[in-house]
Structure 1
Amino acid sequence: MAGKSKNHIYAGFTSGLVSAVVLQPFDLLKTRVQQSNGKSMVQVLKSLNTPMELWRGTLPSALRMSVGSAMYFTCLNTVREAVAGGRRLAVGDNRSTSSLPKLTNTENLISGGLVRGTVGLLVMPITVIKVRYESSTYHYKSIVDAATSIYKHNGMRGFFYGWAATFARDAPYAGLYMLFYEQLKVALPNMLFSDLRTSSHSDKYYSSWSSAMINSVAAATSAGIATTCTNPFDTVKTRMQLAPKEYPNFLTSVKTIVQHEGVQALFRGLALRICRKACQAGISWCIYEDLVKRFERMNLPGPEL
């Protein structure tokens, strides 16, 4: 079990790190669009001094995503294996795009939501620093300056602003994501390859490249659906972390936003978030599943930690 855990830690860390660095511009733009100044994406882009400013906040994003993904994927697999019991797909079975445990729809929904919500709370301090550093509201000189300022003005509590909105966003998002993701991984092969059921050589459809394609499409589609459903919570979370005095708690924040800006403000930054989440899911889950599958097929215990 220790060797298998290393597989998931390494695969999760790598997938999170790659997706964080590649997609940081989407994250920065989303944060600034969700600020209460009402700027559009075009206005935000025009306000940037250099293209490299799009990668402002990459360090905390990379730290949050790499560590968070390692924790999430490892814990998720542990929970799913415990729930699945003997239903886990045999490693030697090639007729699947995945070697992960198979659960029912309800089990996917609950396990995904519970694990993601818990991990989200654990990495909250990094998330708060990231959001503050990315925004144009604060002008921190460095990540250390941001962390020091938050602690000086708000204490330890400042690192957990927006925790309720974060949990309300992450748990449903991950639950819905896992539900759709697992369903699509089963449905897509039959949709994309019409002769799959009748072919005597159907194993070729589960080759490395086709598995990666199917997992990426399933991940991106699932992320788009789950993101749309949970975007209001993301907007509220961002406001609470940027202006805790104006948005002291979840219900007050929702009321303030709707009264002053309308319901549509809760969906501000949705297009950017869908793009980022869809791409992030496609990249991270593709890398994660492929690495885990490769380790297990080669009977490797995973890199030493």
Structure 2
Amino acid sequence: MTSSVEGTPRPNGQGLTGAQPEARHPSSGHVPSRPAGARSVARPQRSVPTSADPPAATNADAPTPHRQKPLVPLLAESPAAMVSFAFGCPSFEDLARLKRSNSEVWVTVTTVDEARQAEDVGADCLVVQGSEAGGHRGGFTDDHDGLGLLALVQLVRTATSVPLIATGGIMTGAGLAAALAAGARAGALGTAFLRCPEAGTSSAHQEALARDDRPTAFTRAFTGRLGRGIRNRFLDEHTAAAPTAYPQVHHLTAPLRAYGRSIGDADLINLWAGQAYTLASDLPAEEIVHRVATEARTALEAARQLLG
């Protein structure tokens, strides 16, 4: 990791999955939160530049609980500008250690209770994921579909005081404007970038995204954890019997999914996509960011005029 950090020209974020499901605040001690670097602009979900020239960082993957824990000391020694957690809340001790290294800590939440728990352990920012989002649900548990984004942002904004990043179903500037008006500091877009030339999305997945004849649905069939994707034969045939067994199911289906991608068979792969995926375009990512930001300003100004 050290050599990767030294060779990284610009800062980025470190995302950890599989955090411990329960995080308890100790009876004494407090680590002050420093202001989150979130700004009210549309950004790709995994790009988190927070200033012109902070320490460089590296990205690594921690897809299972037993691999997540050792990364915290590594990140404390080679700090990233921002460390984000999904699939669970970091412990107070881990979060405090990262903060002592001047890393912001973001936590993905899907309920008000999760938001309160993340704030209690000192999270700098909450990534509020609505049920419209494509891909895995990023919350602490895997036993619910959850609320839509606008309802959830309003509820979390009322219940917490830390900055919020809204994600789930945002594909246009109007969608971003709605999230900002509901109380978010910024919006995180994922599906909106899947058709970009830079995305590296498989050809079969790209073709499925370009069509508009299939709805999305939740499934555990591909990975053993709830995720939203475009319906295909594998999803329809195996969702009902799929167990809650992540990452075991993920490893079990990996060869099949790899084969499906290699032959371009969209019925064999996880076509992760949010509910509004038909609005995705094949423009370069930079153009999408500028377009969404411009549309959001226009939408907010139109709303202001309507209100007089």
TM-score range, shorter chain: under 0.3
Larger radius of gyration: 1
- Report the TM-score, using the length of structure 1 for normalisation: 0.22
Q: Which has the higher strand share?
A: 2
- Report the TM-score, using the length of structure 2 for normalisation: 0.21
Q: Which has the higher helix share?
A: 1
Structure number with higher relative contact order (C-alpha < 8 Å, ≥ 6 residues apart)? 1
